[in-house]
């Protein structure tokens, strides 16, 4: 744990990239596409850290949580179009 804390103090960008990689792996393993939003939130924080916008770790976690929840919530509001019904074939109910 001290090594992880030392890495966070030295360059927190790598911690957020690891969090993003975790969500990519979880997305691929589960197939739940809404895990893309926490991954993007972690990448935004990694970009902020790369741009030298340093926040305290509680603020980092709060920004991550807000961005991830907003993304997942927006994905529930934006529903994909329903699939089109399959064309009916004349005589499709008869056994072959």
Q: Contact at 8 Å (CB) between 24 and 32?
A: no
Q: What angle do CA 63, 18, 60 make, to 5 degrees?
A: 20
The candidate with the shortest Cα–Cα distance to 37, out of 61, 73, 4, is: 73
Q: How far is CA 35 from CA 9, 49, 70, 71, in A?
A: 27, 22, 12, 9
Predicted model pTM: 0.74
Q: How far is CA 43 from CA 1, 77, 96, in A?
A: 23, 23, 55
Q: What pLDDT digit, counting tens, does each position of 5-51 carry?
A: 777 778 889 899 999 999 999 999 998 888 999 999 999 999 999 99
Provide the 3-class DSSP secondary structure of residue 79.
coil
């Amino acid at each position: 744990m001290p090594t992880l804390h030392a890495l966070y103090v030295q360059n927190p960008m790598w911690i957020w990239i690891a969090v993003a990689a975790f969500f990519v792996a979880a997305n691929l393993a589960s197939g739940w596409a809404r895990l893309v939003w926490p991954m993007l939130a972690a990448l935004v924080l990694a970009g902020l850290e790369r741009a030298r916008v340093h926040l305290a770790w509680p603020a980092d976690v709060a920004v991550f949580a807000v961005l991830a929840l907003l993304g997942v919530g927006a994905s529930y509001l934006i529903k994909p179009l329903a699939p089109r019904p399959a064309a009916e074939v004349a005589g499709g109910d008869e056994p072959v």
